[in-house]
Structure 1
Amino acid sequence: MNHLTLIFIWFLCICFLKFVYSLIWTPWRIQNHFKKQGVTGPAYRPIFGNSAQIQRLFEEAELKPAPTDHHDILHRVAPFYHWWSAMYGTPFLYWFGSKPRLGISDPDLI
């Protein structure tokens, strides 16, 4: 019985370390890598990433009336891209959960 408990504790430790590695260490390392290159963005939030901010920006965009006199609809269709590109510059890093996304609008970079 003692060996079984030890194996179970070992298994829990491995699962915890994998969790910390994939949800904290790897995103932190990616964010620092891009920051050294001058690419910034909204801060990483563990587990959810920037999903809450993206949802909030979409809800705010839906409250504003749709433009009828011009075709500039980026702030309505992709409000997160509109706001973050204005705040952080054209290449910016944002997160879907623990997965990084790079927002780029320059055709040469694409």
Structure 2
Amino acid sequence: MNSFQWNIDTLASLGRIFLRKVMKNLRSIDGATVQFGEMGQGIQPNYQVCFPNGSVNTYRGANHKPFMPRGAFNQEHVSHPFSLADLQRAFDAAVAAR
């Protein structure tokens, strides 16, 4: 499998629709972050939302539905955390690139 590294530019390449759905799952909770999977090609990555209270929700990138079984992904295979502000910057870049 390929290892994929995430930054604002690569997040923008996911497109505005994908990013809008991720931001919805982040729920605009102060201090919540999202981490993206780094094992695939970076087309529809699985991701996890980490909340300040320590809970983690995992999602399938293909449909943005909860990933089962629940629980955090292996930390060796996820990106560093991105904030809602980071996602908004990537979203804005995706819109501008249209």
What's the TM-score, normalizing by structure 2? 0.23
Structure with bigger helix share is 1
Q: Pick 1 or 2: higher relative contact order, CA cutoff 8 A, min separation 6.
A: 2
